Amino acid sequence: MTTAATELVLLQANRAVHYAATRINYAEWGKGLTVPQYLEREDALQSSEFTRSGHVSWILTTAAAAAKYADAATGRIHAHVEVPEDLPILAACESFRRPGRLGDRDVPVWSIGSVFVSKDLRGKGYATVMMKKLRAELIKTAPEVGLSNLYSDIGPDYYARLGWKILPSTSLVCDAAATAPSTVPTGVTLLSRADVDTLLVPALYPPSSTPAADARTLFSMPLTPGVHDWFYQRAAFYYRQPGTPAAPTSQGARAGAGSFVVWHHAPHNKCLYLLHWRAASAGARDALLAAAALEAKAFDLAKVVAYLSDGQDVAGLPAGWRVEPREQSLSSLMMWRDGKVVEELEREVVWLGNERYAWV
């Protein structure tokens, strides 16, 4: 029997309960890994600056369990609690607090990921209850104004009904083997991890490049060294596994002043993601894309994929590159003001930097 929503509570998990939730979602996101490897990957992500500075693991459980195992004032499970049988994990997710900018003001942003319900508990409305309670918690934390983003793998409708509105979700894609040049293009310099981190200090916001006639407010999140470290740790985990090549040393490329790309190797799905790119000219853009295709080919990654954001120029793309709509990882954004969700978000806000680095 489904437990009534009034008898359910959203709690902040401690480390033990977070890892219990991680073991549960292994069935969905642990393909190709053993359970110990999956937990090792989580160790790597937990060690990153981005996680340490703003991560919260959430679970939905019963009011009885909450009364027994959590602090009523904070909603946090006590640090000493392991995972008793009478603390059911009915649904779970994670949030990452990060800085944002809305027009000329700084705003808090929460990126949501790992929303999961075990197969035997699906169809009971637990995820919906959890997301509604999470929405209320975020709004309570910053009632004046705040935003939250996620990337939906379950179509455009579910999260939209809960306040996270679907925005344009397209990717720039190439097949690396067929597209890559034989050498790094002239004028392109490959960037090490240290080079990228230097580039990202201070925190790097996407350039404001929408038409002047567009009266909507610009929203963006910065790509910071901490965010880059989260992706770097993710990739480094995979390159420590048996049978993989030595870890890549290049984390991006530069093509003159104002033109660069930061990338992320994802060998588990044979992809090189462009976390963020910007180019001062079409020629610089094409050189950076060529360097990315060559990097992917060198590491036997089948595709290069860049999530496209407003303001990025994709006119006259070089041969082999195409723009495709995404069926998964649909860009979703929620904003609230004075304690209420903004219903017609797309009429008010342009999301700059709606790129892979905003994904968690």
Separation CA 208–CA 218 (nearest Å): 8
Residues near 313 by Cβ (< 8 Å), separated by ≥ 6?
Answer: 279, 282, 285
Q: What is the largest CA-CA distance in the chain?
A: 65
Say if residues 96 and 147 touch (Cβ distance below 8 Å). Answer: no
Separation CA 22–CA 296 (nearest Å): 30
* pLDDT at position 202: 82
- Which of 298, 222, 209, 221 is CA-nearest to residue 253? 298
Between the two ends of the chain, the Cα-to-Cα distance in Å is 33
Which helix (H) or strand (E) segment holds residue 85: the answer is: none
* pLDDT at position 82: 94
* pLDDT at position 212: 63
Question: What are the φ/ψ torsions at residue 181 (nearest 5 degrees)?
Answer: -75, 175
Amino acid occupying residue 152: S
* pLDDT at position 2: 62
Two tokens, residue 30: 């642990």
Distance of CA 9 to the CA centre of its chain: 26
Two tokens, residue 329: 């990882």
35-46 vs 15-29: helix crossing angle, rounded to 10: 120
* pLDDT at position 207: 87
Cα-based angle 88, 93, 99 (whole degrees, multiple of 5): 145
Cα-based angle 188, 190, 191 (whole degrees, multiple of 5): 130
- Please tell me whether residue 52 adopts helix, strand or coil conformation: helix
Amino acid occupying residue 163: G
Residue with tokens 């044979």: 270
Say if residues 164 and 332 touch (Cβ distance below 8 Å). Answer: yes
* pLDDT at position 1: 42
With 0.75 as the threshold, say if the pTM is over it: yes
* pLDDT at position 211: 67
Q: How far is CA 156 from CA 160, 169, 333, in A?
A: 7, 10, 12
Low-confidence stretches of the chain (pLDDT beneath 50) = 1
Two tokens, residue 311: 């303001």
Separation CA 307–CA 309 (nearest Å): 7
